Amino acid sequence: MLLNGGGRRLRIFLLTVFGLLGVIFLWATSDTDSTQLKEAVASWPAAVASHFAFDGGGSQDGDPGGFPYVGGGRKYDEPVPPPPALPPTGDSHDAGASSMGATGAPYFVLIGDSTTCGQAKEGGGWGDAFLWQLARGAQGVNYGVNGALSTGYFHSPIWNAAMQEVRTNALARPVYVTVQFGHNDQNPNSNVTLDMYQDTLVGMAREVLEAGGTPFLVTPLARRDFDLDGTTVTDNLKDYRERTLQAHAVLQDDEASKKARAINLNAASLAYIGAIGKTAAFRYNKWHPLVNDTTHLNELGATVFARIVADLMLGHPAALVPSGERDPWAPGAGNDDGGLSGWIRPDPYMTGLVWHGDPI
């Protein structure tokens, strides 16, 4: 029989061991919320991962630290490998050609903050999941950076690298560039005014056009925040949604930049989050041991909102289908999508659920 002192020491020892095991468990699982989701992302090709030389960001969206203005990022070690071929889709190859006359399979360059950056590099965005929906030889690269401000990104080496990516690929094929910011710019400590934000998006789009690409200004992914009673989703990025669309309107007033496009991800994701409710929306939160991260996405959330991005690019209106009605939209030649329907793999099941406001 153990003495009282020995028994206490044994209990303390066991508690310490279990405590350490708990800490190790939290550390090992801090990038997702379940084994199922880990297995899901592990099934994506190794190329679908953000391989940057830095992470960072001090922001309202929960990124630690500050966005670095030195150094640089690396793109994927190789382009996303093409999935199995889809059936031919008429003249979509030619319809997707850029102003430079390139007619090869398109190339996508994704630019933004952590809500674009992939989970494999501690991000919480839709970008990597979007790239895995490309088909028939279309490829892409995710230049999303954790904690990025629109202004800081625009004057950083990563922007220069992205533009070189555009120029190189535009010689042989159409290049589409998504630009999504706002989460970090909204932070009062960012010193980025709404006018600066809008002007930066206009400047980015014009440089993309000069490099031979087609810019898509993307309104910021909605946060999964609800009011105190948990029934109404909070529209806390409204100003950045409106300023992104105003930036697009400025571009449309200039004949040289009319090819710039915009998709209203904020309106679409806000409507979807409101429709499925707080409990279902929180299933898409990136796992965190202390708080509900309503800004960043886990792998399941990335898949869902990447589908929304894809459908918006293919011409779906940024509004849910009324309950009990059939969605009149379908991807294909009938949409003003520049021929992209030939290069983005459809998912009728997920598309149907999302646009009818049903959780996945």
Reduced 3-state DSSP string for the chain: CCCHHHHHHHHHHHHHHHHHHHHHHHHHCCCCCCHHHHHHHHCCCCCCCCCECCCCCCCCCCCCCCCCCCCCECCCCCCCCCCCCCCCCCCHHHHCCCCCCCCCCCEEEEEECCCCCCHHHCCCCCHHHHHCCECCCCEEEECCCCCCCHHHHHCCHHHHHHHHHHHHHHCCCCEEEEEECCCCCCCHHHCCCHHHHHHHHHHHHHHHHHCCCEEEEECCCCCCCECCCCCCECCCCHHHHHHHHHHHHHHHCCHHHCCCEEECHHHHHHHHHHHHHHHHHHCCEECCCCCCEEEEECHHHHHHHHHHHHHHHCCCCCCCCCCCCCCCCCCCCCCCCCCHHHCECCCHHHHHHHHCCCCC
User: pLDDT at position 333, please?
Assistant: 80
CA nearest to 223, candidates 169, 180, 273: 273
Q: How confident is the model at residue 45 (pLDDT cuts 50, 70, 90)?
A: very low
What value does the mean pLDDT take over residues 29-51? 35
User: pLDDT at position 336, please?
Assistant: 84
Higher pLDDT, 177 or 337: 177
What value does the mean pLDDT take over residues 172-184? 98
Residue 121 to residue 131: CA distance in whole angstroms: 15
Is residue 220's pLDDT more than 70?
yes
What value does the mean pLDDT take over residues 24-51? 37
β pairing state of 293-297 and 285-286: antiparallel
Is residue 193's pLDDT more than 60?
yes
Residue 159 to residue 300: CA distance in whole angstroms: 29
User: pLDDT at position 75, please?
Assistant: 36
Is residue 227's pLDDT more than 70?
yes
Is residue 41's pLDDT more than 50?
no
What percent of the chain clears pLDDT 90, i.e. is strictly above it?
66
| Residues 161, 130 contacting (CB under 8 angstroms) | no
What value does the mean pLDDT take over residues 332-336? 85
Higher pLDDT, 236 or 42: 236
What value does the mean pLDDT take over residues 172-191? 98
Q: How confident is the model at residue 325 (pLDDT cuts 50, 70, 90)?
A: very high
What percent of the chain clears pLDDT 70, i.e. is strictly above it?
72
User: pLDDT at position 274, please?
Assistant: 98
User: pLDDT at position 79, please?
Assistant: 38
Q: How confident is the model at residue 245 (pLDDT cuts 50, 70, 90)?
A: very high
Check the CA dihedral 303-142-32-288 and report its sign. Answer: negative
- Written as six digits, the tokens of 74 are 């690396």
pLDDT digits 0-9 by tens, 266-307: 999 999 999 999 999 999 999 988 889 999 999 999 999 999
